[in-house]
């Protein structure tokens, strides 16, 4: 019997989910048409930005806080943190979703399908944001596998099933319908994850009186918030810049398809990074510097071969991969895919560096690096998108991402070296 590591099992599970999402994208691109798919990806980009903004960093802060609370059996504090996080997310959903929904409804310069799609995204925002929180709580509680199964498989699988049902019933498929299917899937995932969470946490969590440290939690979550929002801007900035600059629908769709294809490399690491981050938190708590170094080497050894295979496939078959969606996307999407794949592979290798800095509290370094990279990307998008379209957007994203992760990896390496002299 062949035994596989938890990293391999999580990655295979995440890749299976990415395959479902990829199939969903192909179906939607072919069924919605070029203009309809443009409306879909713009509404989806708006949702991703909002669902990153609303949790205020609390979902990623979970991976730092919850493992130590569980280890020290601080059940009252854990219950207080969960209640505090849910309340902040629901309030943030209202403060963000209502204004954005009202703006989209009255934005006459947007296509009607885009406007309605954004409004529907705002309605589904609370469920989506809570799913992201519960996902991280489950990962921090040692339940990464079932949580990833719901997040990576059930969520896109539900959307694909609903879209397939609509096609089977000969219903006309529009971008808002596809966005509404995502809203339903977030609600289904929230119910399933809440049930998992009930079983994952120790029973005393549900019976003790909560202890809340609201100001401290909000303050310590801000670096995670800034980092998450910056990544969302990096990810969706190209689509927004192309749409804002009134690029052809084929360019917007081609870039969106290229970005989603390039993101396969991140899927290789994202699921496992949740567990690595949880282990890193405990190692820092114990002051185990050698353990941190072993953890880093373990992660890099595991990533090497999958990333090499990924790059070989993408660079060899870029036109064919983009053409699976629509032939109109190939001219803009294939060059963008090769550029994004290279930068995404590099950022995947270096992705634990910012997590290390956040867990150590090196917020100044993180804020400055993110601010400079975000400003650089905006400037590059303004300069390159009007001239090069989707390729320019890809170059802007690649340069900003590479410089950001390179700078953070360098600082993390120096910080780790100061904690303990190198072994003789």
pLDDT in tens, 144-169: 788 888 998 999 999 999 999 999 98
> Mind giving me the DSSP string for 135-175?
HHHHHHTT-HHHHHIIIIIIHHHHHHHHHHHHHHTTPPP-H
d(CA 234, CA 401): 7
Residue 416 structure tokens: 């780790």
Residue 423 pLDDT > 50: no
Residue 97 pLDDT > 50: yes
Residue 187 pLDDT > 90: yes
Residue 286 pLDDT > 90: no
Closest CA to 53 of 111, 129, 115, 121: 129
Residue 133 structure tokens: 């929180």
pLDDT score of 2: 41
pLDDT interval class at 10 (50, 70, 90): low
Residue 188 pLDDT > 90: yes
Per residue in 47-59, pLDDT tens? 999 999 999 999 9
pLDDT score of 354: 75
Closest CA to 307 of 351, 354, 253: 351
d(CA 125, CA 400): 28
Three-class secondary structure of residue 92 per DSSP: helix
The model's pTM is: 0.80
Closest CA to 86 of 225, 182, 229, 214: 214
């Amino acid at each position: 019997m062949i035994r596989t590591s938890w990293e391999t099992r999580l990655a295979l599970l995440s890749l299976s989910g990415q395959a479902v999402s990829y199939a969903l994208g192909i179906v939607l691109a072919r069924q919605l048409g070029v203009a309809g798919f443009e409306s879909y990806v713009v509404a989806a980009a708006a949702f991703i930005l909002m669902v990153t903004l609303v949790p205020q960093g609390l979902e990623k802060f979970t991976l730092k806080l919850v493992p130590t609370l569980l280890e020290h059996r601080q059940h009252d504090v854990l219950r207080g943190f969960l209640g505090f996080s849910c309340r902040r997310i629901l309030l943030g959903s209202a403060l963000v979703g209502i204004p954005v929904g009202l703006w989209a409804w009255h934005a006459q310069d947007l296509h009607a399908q885009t406007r309605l799609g954004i409004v529907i995204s705002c309605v589904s925002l609370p469920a989506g944001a809570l799913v992201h929180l519960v996902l991280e709580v489950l990962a921090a509680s040692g339940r990464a596998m079932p949580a990833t199964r719901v997040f990576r498989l059930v969520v896109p699988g539900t959307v694909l099933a609903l879209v397939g049902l609509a096609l089977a019933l000969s219903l006309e498929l529009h971008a808002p319908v596809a966005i509404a299917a995502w809203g339903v899937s977030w609600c289904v995932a929230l119910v399933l994850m809440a049930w998992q969470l009930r079983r994952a946490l120790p029973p005393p969590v549900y019976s003790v009186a909560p202890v809340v440290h609201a100001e401290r939690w909000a303050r310590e979550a801000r670096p995670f918030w800034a980092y998450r929002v910056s990544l969302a801007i990096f990810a969706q900035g190209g689509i927004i810049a192309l749409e804002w600059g009134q690029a052809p629908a084929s360019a917007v769709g081609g870039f969106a398809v290229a970005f989603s294809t390039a993101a396969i490399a991140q899927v290789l690491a994202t699921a496992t990074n949740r567990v690595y981050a949880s282990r890193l938190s405990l190692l820092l708590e114990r002051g185990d510097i050698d353990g941190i170094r072993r953890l880093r080497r373990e992660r890099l050894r595991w990533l090497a071969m999958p990333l090499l295979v990924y790059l070989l496939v993408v660079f060899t078959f870029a036109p064919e991969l983009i053409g699976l969606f629509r032939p109109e996307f190939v001219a803009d999407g294939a060059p963008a895919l090769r550029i994004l794949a290279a930068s995404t592979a590099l950022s995947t290798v270096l992705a634990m560096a910012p997590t290390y800095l956040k867990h150590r509290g090196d917020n100044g370094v993180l804020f400055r690096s993110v601010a400079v990279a975000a400003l650089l990307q905006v400037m590059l998008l303004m300069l390159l998108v009007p001239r090069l379209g989707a390729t320019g957007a890809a170059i802007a994203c690649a340069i900003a991402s590479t410089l950001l992760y390179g700078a953070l990896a360098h600082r993390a390496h120096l910080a780790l070296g100061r904690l303990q002299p190198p072994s003789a």
